[in-house]
Every structure is written in C-alpha cells, then in structure tokens.
A and B are shown apart, each in its own frame.
Chain A
Amino acid sequence: MDPEITIRCTNLSKNFRVSEKQAGLAGSLSSFFKRTYRSVPAIQSFSFEAQKGEIVGLLGPNGAGKTTLMKMLTGIIVPSSGTAQVLGFSPSERKRAFRRQISLVMGQKSQLWWDIPALDSFHLLGKYYEVEHSQLHHRIQELADLLDVHGLLNTHIRKLSLGERMKMELMASLLHNPRVLFLDEPTIGLDLVAQRNIREFLKFYQEQHQTTILLTSHYMGDVQALAERIVLVLDGEKRFDDSIEHFESFFGGEKYVQLELEAAVDTEDPLWKRYDTVWVENGVRADLRIPTHRFHHALREIFERFPVQNFTTEKLPIERVLTSLLENPRLLEQRGESSLR
C-alpha cells in the first residue's frame, strides 16, 4: 500500500438482516412464532481512497450508509464483502497496533464517564494508550488551550452543556495523537457559535498535525469549513467523489438568484417551476436556479411579469447543491457521473 494512502477500501459491502413485522397485535403474535427477515444493503461495492493528511467529508441523507462505512473502517463491524485497509491494517482484524493509531468521535454518543470530571477520564485514556504522564499533561494543557476549556476540566461531564461536552469528547479522542480521526457528526445539536468553535479547532489541529480525517455531518458548514474533498453517499453507493470546488460548481451552468418581491405573487405560476424555485417567504421571497444560457431571458420575463423589488445573484450555495442532488439523484447520472473516482 502506498504510504501516502491512509485509507483504501475496495468493493466494500455491508448487508444487515432486518426482521419485518406486520402492524398490530396479530402481526406481533405472528412475528413471535415465525419471523421473516430481509437483507438490507447498507453499503454496496464502495471503493474509496484517502491520502495521508487529507480531510474527506462523507455526505448523504440519513440512512445513506455513512456511519456504517465509518464503522467498517474503524473495525467496529465486519464487512459482508470487499476489502478495507487503514494505515496498512485490515480494520476487521482489530489489531492492537491499528487501534492505537485511530480515534473515533460520535456526536450522539459519549465515551466519557458521565459522573466524574473529564480530567479523570483523560487520565484513564492516557493509560489505554500508554501516554507517558508528563506528555499526557502537556497534551491536556495544549488541547485545553486550543478549545478554551481549562475551567471545565474538573467539572462533572453531566454538568456540561452539549457544546462543552463535545469539546471534551474531541480532547479525549486526540490525547494519543491519532493518525486517523473518524468524526461522525461532531457538531450535531450544537448552536452556531459552538459549531464554529469546533470547526475552527479541527481545522487548526489538522493543519498542525496532518491527521487524516474522515468526517460525516448533516451540516454543510462542517464539510465546507473542513473538507477538501467530498464523497457523496446515496443508498449505500458512492455517487460523487471529488474536490469541494468541483462539488460547488456541480451546477456550474446555472446561476443562483435570490428575488425579493414588492407583493405576494402566485407561487403556482409555471415560470417558477422551470427554475427550481424555493419560496423563502411565501409569495414574497424566492431562491431560483437559472441556467446561464437562459439567464437574461429569464430575468427579463420575471421583471416584466412580477413586481421585483430587489435581486441578487451568486454561484449556487453548496447546501443547495446537496439538497438538489438528494431530491433528484438522477442529476448525477445526467452529468455522466464524471466525478466518480
């Protein structure tokens, strides 16, 4: 394996066996005696590589298979087929040397002991990873400085806010200076300021340590701020894999227009449908996606027919690109999936 390639998976697949039950008491009784199962493909023939020091954002709707992929790459679950290599190890073998070099943060779960201060948990983690005492102390100070949490180290975890707890979770995951960091929705549920703080910290940390980071998030802001590359997962399949710039210009032939109207207009007018209109304020404010070659014609038509008060135009926000792709995955096929690596 090329030493520059930290993560490589080839035709990775994972199927889950799911039991099915009809609704109601009769269904429950029937299922108690005779259970029917079906195999659900969570990840299908997924091939992917990540270079050393790269930050890759895994995007996709709920249930797309992002977390399943991450769990296979950390060795938590075993793939149904295909191969995975992380730092030259097969994760499912769960070699100790492998586990010493990775770390996992899950935004919806906590690895810290709930009823004691974070500092105590950090000392335990130091023992897990055999971090020498003075080095551990230095790491705690360094990370606490960066995250500005000195005053919270001796507070019981259960007394911390969600944002503060997530900072502690990040500290816990970085104490042993992992070479690969798996972040599964690290900012979920956080307010905007806390999200920004976490992003800034991760960005700074990654630049300092060149840690390879695989990130899943529902917040485009996370991916936009951190990732250099985006992998779009839909129904367990990789549908896009390229730079964030390429993703942003996915609808390069289109312009994003925000309109403000003097009075409410008919939102059912066929014109709006032609330009994938999203009404921000019903009948008064709208976001449109207009093909570049029709831009002048479309604007003229809108100005002639509707009382436009103000308008701005810019390239399509990444959030909107993702929403459009999730709503209509065929757009990827229409574009020839040119960005599938």
Chain B
Amino acid sequence: MKNLRTQMQYYGTLYRSFFELCAAEALSFRTHFVLLIVVDLIFYGTMFGTAEVLYHHVEEIGPWNRSQFLFFVAFFLTVDQLHMTLFAMSFWEFSSDLRLGKLDFWLVKPAHILFIVFFRHIRVASLLLAPLVWGALIFSGIQVGLSPLSWCMLPLLVLLSLALLITMEILLSAAMFWTVENDGINFLRMQVQSVGRWPDFIYQYLFQKLFSVFIPILLVTSAPVHYLLQTRGEEVLFFLLAALLGMLFLVSKVWRYALLRYESASS
C-alpha cells in the first residue's frame, strides 16, 4: 500500500512537471496557442452545426430526437477534448520518436515507458476549452432530462470512455514498431476516431460488430450514451468494461513484445 502511494506520488510529481514544461512551451508561441483554441472551437461548431442542420430536416435519427443526439455530440466532444488535451500530441510525437530514435532516451529513464511516451505532451491551449465542453454536456444533459443515476455515472463514463479510447490507440500505435513509417497508423487512428463521431445505429450490422468487438470505437461513445439515455440497459457497461480490460491486457502483451524487437534508429 505504501509502495502504491509512493508510486502515485512519483508519477503525480512527474506529471505536474510534464504539465509545467508543456505550459512553458505552449506559452512561448502566442499565435499558435490562440490558433489551437480557434481550431478546436471551429471543430466543436461544425459538430453541433451538423446535428442542427440534420434535425432541421428530420424529427428523429434512428431512435434519437434532437436533444438526445445533441447530448451524444456533447458526450463525444467531452471525451475528444480530454483526448486532445492530454494525449493526442503524444501519439504524434511517439511516431517521430520511434523514427528518429529519440525513444532511446525514454527507455533509459527510470519511469514506466508507457507513461513517458503517452503522458508527456499536454496541449495546454485545449485545456482552456474544458469549461465550454463540460458546460455543453451538462446543458444537453438537462435538456434531455437525465436521471439522477445517469448524472452520477456521467463523469465515470466519460473517464471510462477516454480510457478505452487511449488503450485502443496505444495498441494501434504499437504497430509502429513494425511499420517503421508511421503516418499510416496515425491516420488510421484518426479515421477510427471519426467512426465514433456518429451513433452506432447509423452503421450496418457488420460494421457495428466490427467497430464494437474488434476495434471497439462504438463502445467509446455510443455505448455509454445509450446507457445514460436509458435506451439500453446495463449490459452496455459490461461490454465497455470488458473491452477496456481486454485492451489493457493486449496492450501489456503487445507492448512488451514490441520493446523486445525494438531496433532503434541508427545514429
């Protein structure tokens, strides 16, 4: 227990340092800093705007009305905003670290390699938008009339969805150890994410199975929203947890194997 607390303190302190360095770095480039905020705002605007346009023409899409769909969009954007702020940069950096051999430095540091690689880069500019997306999520939750249980489960499900998304992306990124040229993997990650931008019921049966079982991106957003809106039962939570545990298991195995065959770029 003491050991666990010491470990938590160690990684907590390290993470705070990562944050301080990222903040120092981000604030060095003022235009870039502001531009990132603007880009994120445009993205959020297009997501909500698309939903508004669609519901201007139809009453329902699948089983969801406008409020329910907007709640789904808000939930997706909340997970996406956390992902963009805390992890997205690290995935792109990992690609270049591998190709240029900078991973060598992280491998000799006395912290867990997954922590160094995937928690090191924080996009501080996006952090400022957290109140906006959480505000939108709460507002759309009120509009849709979430139950008290759903309100309690909401933060937990956001974190679980984020965890599933990250482990899935780490697993995909581990393929970079084999592919060497890594842009393809990063574009694949982005496309997988874009599949999750839409609710599961818009996809045909085979695609639903593919993106729920093999690449479970639909469990990241659709499953928790179905549970929160009570359009499906607790079984979706079970699938979400099972997928997360499965991904964690695979990540630990694949990553260990990938490091064994890491050859490092020559200097």
Given A16-B263, A76-B264, A77-B262, are A124 and B110 also a contact pair (CB < 8 Å)? no
Which residue among B10, B102, B104, B108 has the maximum number of chain A CB atoms within 10 Å of its CB? B108
24 contacts between A and B (CB under 8 A): A16-B263, A71-B104, A76-B104, A76-B108, A76-B264, A77-B263, A78-B259, A78-B261, A100-B110, A104-B104, A107-B267, A108-B267, A111-B105, A115-B25, A115-B28, A116-B21, A116-B28, A120-B21, A123-B17, A124-B14, A124-B17, A124-B18, A128-B110, A129-B110
* B102 near A109: Cβ-Cβ < 8 Å: yes
List 4 additional contacts besides A74-B107, A96-B110, A96-B111; criterion CB under 8 Å.
Answer: A77-B262, A108-B267, A124-B14, A128-B109
Any chain B CB within 8 A of the CB of A94? yes
Q: How far is the CA of A67 from the CA of B28 in the complex (A)?
A: 35
Chain B hits for A294, CB < 8 A: none
Partner of A120, one of B13, B20, B107, B264: B20
Partner of A77, one of B17, B100, B264, B267: B264
Measured between C-beta atoms, what is the minimum distance from B151 to chain A in Å?
Answer: 37
Using C-beta atoms within 8 Å of the partner chain, give the interface range for chain A: 35 or more
Partner of B109, one of A67, A99, A115: A99
Q: How far is the CA of A111 from the CA of B101 in the complex (A)?
A: 11
Using C-beta atoms within 8 Å of the partner chain, give the interface range for chain B: 20 to 34
Chain A hits for B105, CB < 8 A: 104, 106, 109, 111
What is the chain A residue whose CB lies nearest that of B109?
A: A128
What is the chain B residue whose CB lies nearest that of A92?
A: B260
Any chain A CB within 8 A of the CB of B24? yes
Q: Report which B residues bind A (CB closer than 8 A).
A: 10, 13-14, 17-18, 20-21, 24-25, 28-29, 100-102, 104-105, 107-111, 259-264, 266-267
What is the chain B residue whose CB lies nearest that of A123?
A: B17
CB neighbors of B among A97-145 (8 A): 97, 99-100, 102-104, 106-109, 111, 113, 115-116, 120-121, 123-124, 127-130
Measured between C-beta atoms, what is the minimum distance from B22 to chain A in Å?
Answer: 9
Any chain B CB within 8 A of the CB of A242? no
Which residue among B24, B100, B102, B110 has the maximum number of chain A CB atoms within 10 Å of its CB? B110
Partner of A75, one of B10, B29, B108, B111: B108
Q: How far is the CA of A213 from the CA of B21 in the complex (A)?
A: 30
Q: How far is the CA of A102 from the CA of B105 in the complex (A)?
A: 11
* B108 near A103: Cβ-Cβ < 8 Å: yes
* A76 near B107: Cβ-Cβ < 8 Å: yes
Any chain B CB within 8 A of the CB of A255? no
Give 7 closest A-B pairs by Cβ, nearest first: A111-B105, A99-B110, A100-B110, A124-B17, A127-B17, A115-B25, A108-B267
Interface string of A75-92 (1 = CB under 8 A from B): 111100000000000000
Any chain B CB within 8 A of the CB of A184? yes
Chain A hits for B263, CB < 8 A: 16, 77
